[in-house]
Amino acid sequence: MAIGDKVELSSWEKLGNFFRGRSVWMMWYCTGCGAIEMPPTMTSRFDMERLGMGPMATPRQADILLVTGYLSVKTLRRVIYSYEQMQDPKYIIAFGACAVNGGIYFDSYSTINKLDDYLPVDMYIAGCMPRPEAIMNAFNDLQEKIRNNEVDGWKRYKKNYDQYKKNQLKAVGEVYVHDEFHE
């Protein structure tokens, strides 16, 4: 039952979001200098795992795709592959000025300027480079939004797949991924 733009959730979905919002696992896709701020965020000073956040080795284990740094045409293809392999629900965080708007590479012929034209970004962390405190705040905000059912990028991706696919084709050509909702 839809009420405005919100979808009424079942008790099981609400319970799932409650727990999902307390334990988020990320796949960290670092393409440039953005990667330098992640080790301090994960180690003893900030220790993101104590708040239920941690890195995963593969897309199939991750809830969040954290894209740090600029995206070239070649890396966009890999990011799309990674996102397509993640299980629903899945979220994307664009980390740093380069992932948000191209940063200092905004006028390069080989740089993607707006990640959300190709994949649904759920949260942005601005800065060049965002400090560990900003990263922790963004993850806490995302966890709260998950618990409150306020992030729906993966649903938008399915709903607007044709538009995302059109942009992907224009930028990188065909990206072959087998998935049931694309057929």
Which residues does 15 contact at the CB level (< 8 Å), separation at least 6? none
Rounded distance between C-alpha atoms, residue 5 and residue 161, angstroms: 19
The predicted structure's pLDDT at residue 3: 37
Q: What is the mean pLDDT of the chain?
A: 80
pLDDT higher at 113 or 118: 118
The predicted structure's pLDDT at residue 1: 34
pLDDT digit string, tens, across residues 35-88? 777 777 777 777 777 777 777 888 888 888 988 888 888 888 888 989 999 998
For 80-103, what is the mean pLDDT? 87
The predicted structure's pLDDT at residue 161: 93
What predicted TM-score, i.e. pTM, was given to this entire model?
0.80
Residue 2 has pLDDT above 50, yes or no: no
pLDDT higher at 122 or 175: 122
Q: Which domains does the chain have, with CATH numbers?
A: 24-182 (3.40.50.12280)
Structure tokens at 87: 């299980």
Query: What secondary structure, in 3-state letters, does 32-84 show?
Result: CHHHHHHHHHHCCCCCHHHHCEEECCCHHHCCEEEEECCEEHHHHHHHHHHHH
Beta bridge partner(s), residue 92: 65
Q: Which contiguous run of DSSP H or E holds residue 145?
A: helix 132-147
From 42, 32, 33, select the one nearest 132 (Cα to Cα).
42
Percent share of the chain, pLDDT over 70? 84
